[in-house]
Amino acid sequence: MKLFPIRGGIHPQYRKELTGDCAIEALPLPSRLYIPLQQHIGVPAEVLVGEGDLVSKGQVIARRQGQVSVNQHAPTSGRVAAVTEIPAPHPSGLPQPTIVIEPDGADAWGGLAEPITDPFAVDAQTIEARVAECGIVGMGGAGFPSAVKLNLGIRHRIETLLINGAECEPYLTCDDRVMREHADEVIDGARIMAHALNAPKIVVAIEENKPQALAIMTAAAQAHPHLEVVAVPAKYPMGSERHLTLAITGRETPARKLTADLGVVVHNVATARAVHHAVRHGRPLVARVVTVSGQAMRTPKNVEAPIGATVSDLIAFCGGFAQRPERLVQGGPMMGALLPGTDVPVVKSTSGILALTAEEINDRRADPCVRCGSCVAICACGLVPVEIAAHIRHDDLEGAARIGLMDCVSCGSCSWVCPSHIPLVHYFNYAKGALNAQERERRKSERTKTLVVARATRVERIAAQRAANLARKPKVVAATEEVGA
Amino acid sequence: MIGESPTRSGPFAHAANTVQRIMFMVLLALLPATLFNLYLFGWPAILLFAVTVGACVVAEAACLVLAGKPVSATLSDGSAILTGWLLAMTLPPWAPWWIGVLGAMFAIPLAKQAFGGLGQNLFNPAMVARVALLVSFPVVMTAWVAPHPLFTTGAPTLNEAMTITFAGETPDGVTAATALGYVKTELSRGVPVSESLQEYGRSSALTYAPDLMDLATGFKPGSLGETSAGLILLGGIFLLWRRIITWHIPIMMIGTLFVMGTLFNAFDPTRFAPGFFHILSGSAILGAFFIATDYVTSPVTQKGQLVFGFGVGLLTWVIRTFAGYPEGMAFAVLLMNSLTPIIDQYTRPRMFGRTRKGEPLPVEGQR
């Protein structure tokens, strides 16, 4: 298959060898599981259970609210110990509503939806409803409800379902292992999604630094002529949805549009596997593979953990720390976020837990910018990070937005390459947050203004009406007043 | 305002590169040519080199103290050493000590620290210093000598060198014109370029044949950085190989100079020097790889760097050919430095998913 070049990009130290050859190991059931009501982009789910309730594995314990939201399920059978607030797996560590489950050890499935024996005989709505019911979100890290993305087939003509097995983040090997160990499930899930999207073609894109996954997936794809496994260059951020679409189709997603506008929908390999489980077996998303790695970790592993297991459970399973980690990160080192502690749970979008040493992070005091232009050369989005940062430093956020701040995907390549160690992405995230807050404030005040104006007109109209009524019927003042009020 | 926060964004990985490493690599790349030229021009050159670099470092330290900035942390970035080094390489090797010191004053406090220090200056500090010195002291700054290699007969001893550098007493009969200077002077006297080029070697104090080889190896009068274009080129190739610089500026600059030289030479060899002569003489190679490529004062976009390199090459040729000065590289670099911000503004890359004008791409449109 002919590939298309993407602009810029970097070649970080991948360090995938730490876990690349570690087969997926199941985490023994922890003593408690913590299931946050929000593990996804969108509205939190609503609690259906109370303290003391007995639940079976796979039972819905929180119901989704609206379209952009997903159900939460009991990851194992047991008793609801509490519905409380615990720190979220987010750098802020702010508390969020969470259901705490004490496993009973039986790990017994119950109340599952009927398996769909022939998914290709049912319509798209059935598949989409099942995916929504089973609480599936994008497992590459974004955590966007997958059913919403399967819906895209209704309003757009989808030509290609792109299965993202690039896994361009350093350290992470969870997708690699899923493809190597569960290729058939991934491919089946992909075919089901393509059916739901009415997409005639499936492309599985895998970075060429995963030769075993490529070989196994290619072999598994033999039976399906409309499914192609493609090796893409190992270059960060190849796994970015838009950049992968460009590399595969040669078409560039216009700003503020979706890849679906080009007829392409992108799903992660682990998501495809989750769809297979949901449709073929009626099993909701209650576990995921997490890469536990970093040079501060004693025995890095790929762990299949139930949703709600704490980070400390996984660390203990991997032998604890070999040395005190400088930073504890969830996700990959490029786009991942700091963990506020080890008591936070693994959620549906947790792809990695990294205990990194100072030497791996290689952070240092920022020097002045010497305008070397490295950030410009490597920016995959065609931005001039040095200039955007200069605007932000002078608090000119609108100026930064004019030259593309909001088009930045925060991939982190510019920060990574900067010889002065300037935390450019930190600047950009700060500015994006500040601009979004301003925008919300502006909308709010606009809304208030409309309401005030509406009220004024209403009051005026009523007053005018009253005056007119008064003029017409001077005798029945009291009655009109009541109506007017 | 933005500040550090505990929720600092990633990435939590970083390339091994640092500003110090970059400066170190550039110095390393300059080393072979510098050592060879210090050997060629002997003790006076070594003294002047030491004075110039030393004065730049002292001036930088003084400015940092006055500004209340961390001294040792900033000095260790190596940029002051590099500025002094590059300046020394553009001075007549036997110039008196105060040329080096005054040059350092122009370069560091005036051209760099007054703008806010590393990364903030609009103009290349070493070139500001060189041009300021050239305009202020035209005689001293054009008193070139023929090479007197160390330990050869006629080479000044360390004692004699002290007199030359610190007392400013240049012995009689050692000054010689640079190739560019000679050709320019002869042309003004009505001698065609083609003839003066041949005459140049015979009239110089050297016994070697006057061919382009001399220009490349460095056995000719000139500053440290304009002789031995070959070793300078070697350093430049090292920088390209180590990815400290990209090809855009040097290739564009040398290419433009060569093309202009060759075209006009073909048109009238009596008035215009050939392309090879242009790129191998003067500080064309030094300028292309070490001066025009200065990060701070050149564009950050690759397209901008092409425009910049073209401009420096073209202006160097124009100044050499039509202006009063035989060498125009320093002026050309400064002129283009002043255009850098505007070049950057007009050569921004196309943003992903947008047209050149910044509008979102049309949905159905192909690229």
Q: Which two tokens stand for residue B144?
A: 């070139």
pLDDT value for A81 = 94
Residue in A243, A250, A335 closest to B10 by CB: A335
CB contact under 8 A, A372 and B22: yes
Rounded to whole angstroms, the Cα distance separating A138 from A147 reads 10
- Per-residue pLDDT for B115 more than 60? yes
Q: To 5 degrees, how large is the angle CA B62–CA B65–CA B69?
A: 130
A156/A265 Cα distance (integer angstroms): 10
Consecutive H or E run containing A47: strand A46-47
Q: How far apart are CA B214 and CA B182, in angstroms?
A: 15
pLDDT at A483 over 80: no
CB–CB of B5/A326 below 8 Å?
A: no
Cβ(B298)–Cβ(B342) under 8 Å?
Answer: no
Q: Assign B199 a pLDDT band (cuts: 50, 70, 90).
A: low
Judged on CB neighbours under 10 Å (0-12, 13-18, 19+), B308 is buried
Residues 280-339 of B with CB under 8 A from A: 295-296, 298-302, 305
Task: From chain B, pick out residues whose CB is under 8 angstroms from the CB of A337.
Answer: 9-10
- The partner residues of A268 in beta bridges, in order of sequence, read A164
- Chain A hits for B354, CB-CB cut-off 8 Å, are 254-255, 382, 404, 407
Task: Read off the pTM.
Answer: 0.88
Residue B141 has pLDDT above 60, yes or no: yes
Query: How is residue A52 annotated by DSSP?
Result: T
Give the CA-trace dihedral at B236, B240, B244, B245, to 10 degrees: 80
CA distances from B235 to A29, A193, A228, B28, B332 (A): 62, 57, 48, 8, 22
**Which residues neighbour A296 within 8 Å (Cβ) at sequence distance 6 or greater?**
A321, A322, A323, A324, A325, A326, A355, A356, A357
Query: How far is residue B62 CA from its own chain's centroid?
Result: 25
Q: Among candidates A326, A372, A194, which has minimal Cα distance to A272?
A: A194
pLDDT value for B205:
38
φ and ψ of A112, to 5 deg: -80, 155
Give the C-alpha separation, B21 to A294, whole Å: 26
Q: Which residues of B66-82 are buried (b: 16+ CB within 10 A; e: fewer)?
A: eeeeeeeebeebbbbbb
Mean pLDDT of A42-56: 91
Distance to chain B for A19, nearest Cα, Å? 18
Contact call for A425 and B10, based on CB within 8 A: yes
Q: What residues of chain A lie within 8 A of the CB of B296, using their CB?
A: 370-371
* Complex ipTM: 0.87
Residue in this structure with the two tokens 């022939």, named with its chain if needed: A118
A414: closest CA among A7, A6, A8, A5?
Answer: A8
pLDDT of amino acid B210: 42
Q: What pLDDT does residue B157 have?
A: 83
Q: Do β-strands A201-207 and A72-73 pair in parallel, antiparallel, or remain unpaired?
A: unpaired
User: Which residue in A285, A280, A282 sits closest to A120, CA to CA?
Assistant: A280
Instruction: Yes or no: say if B21 and A415 are a contact pair by the CB < 8 Å rule.
Output: no
Confidence band of B209 (pLDDT split at 50, 70, 90): very low
Q: Which of B77, B348, B363 is the closest to A384 by Cβ? A: B348
Give the distance from CA B283 to its chain's centroid.
Answer: 6
Residue A304: pLDDT over 90: yes
**B12:A386 CB<8 A:** no
Quick one: B31 exposed, middle or buried, by C-beta within 10 A (0-12, 13-18, 19+)? middle
Share of chain B above pLDDT 70, in %: 88
User: Does B246 lie at the interface with A, CB-CB under 8 angstroms?
Assistant: yes
CA Rg, chain A, in Å?
26
Q: Which of A187-191, B6-10, B238-242 has the lowest average pLDDT?
A: B6-10
Contact between chains at A370 and B7 (C-beta distance less than 8 A): no
Fill in the amino acid letter for A19: T
Using CA atoms, how far apart are residues B84 and B107, in angstroms rounded to an integer?
8
Tell me what pLDDT residue A255 has. Answer: 92
pLDDT digits (tens, 9 = 90+) for A312-339: 999 999 999 999 999 999 999 999 999 9
Interchain pair B9, A7: CB under 8 A: no
Looking from the CA of A402 toward its CB, the CA atoms found within 13 Å total 9
B residues 34-73 closer than 8 Å to A (CB): 73
pLDDT at A11 over 80: yes
Residues 204-223 of B with CB under 8 A from A: none
A416 token code pair: 């990574």
Q: Look at residues A296, A319, A310 and name the one whose alpha carbon lies nearest to residue A341.
A: A310
Q: What DSSP designation does A368 have? A: P
What is the dihedral sign for C-alpha A319, A324, A325, A328? positive
Counting beta carbons within 10 angstroms of the beta carbon of residue A222, is it exposed (0 to 12), middle (13 to 18) or buried (19 or more)? exposed
Query: Any idea where the domains of chain B sit in the sequence?
Result: 19-344
**B152 in contact with A, Cβ within 8 Å:** no
Does residue B211 register a pLDDT over 60?
A: no
What confidence score (pLDDT) does residue B202 get? 53
Percent of chain A with pLDDT over 90: 83
Interface of B with A in 153-172 (CB under 8 A): none
Q: Which of A333, A365, A381 sits opposite B11 (nearest CB)?
A: A333
Q: Cβ separation of B18 and A12 shorter than 8 Å?
A: no
Instruction: Using the predicted structure, report yes or no on whether residue A222 has a pLDDT greater than 50.
Output: yes
Measured N-to-C along each axis, helices B97-105 and B79-89 cross at an angle, to the nearest 10 degrees, of 130
Q: What confidence score (pLDDT) does residue A475 get?
A: 59
- Spatial contact of B312 and B294, defined as CB atoms under 8 Å apart: no
Record: contact B296-A251, CB cut-off 8 A: no
Distance from CA of A416 to the nearest CA of B (A): 4
pLDDT at position A140: 84
CA dihedral A362, A366, A370, A371 (to 10 degrees): 80
How many angstroms separate the CA atoms of B257 and B246, rounded? 18
Report the pLDDT value the prediction gives residue B200, as an integer from 0 to 100. Answer: 63
Q: How confident is the model at residue B152 (pLDDT cuts 50, 70, 90)?
A: confident
Residue pairs spanning A and B at CB distance below 8 A: 183
On chain A, the residues whose CB falls within 8 A of the CB of B79 are 370
**B15 vs A364: CB contact, 8 Å cut-off?**
no
Q: Is it the case that residue A287 has pLDDT exceeding 50?
A: yes
Widest Cα–Cα separation across chain A: 93
Long-range contacts, stretch A391-398, CB < 8 angstroms, 24+ apart: A392/A427, A392/A428, A392/A430, A392/A431, A392/B2, A393/A427, A393/B2, A395/B1, A397/A431, A397/A434, A397/A435, A397/A438
Structural domains present in chain A: 16-288 (3.40.50.11540), 289-361 (3.10.20.600), 367-485 (no CATH)
B365 burial (CB, 10 Å; 0-12 / 13-18 / 19+) is exposed
Query: Which pLDDT value is given to residue B283?
Result: 85
* Residue A31 predicted with pLDDT over 80: yes
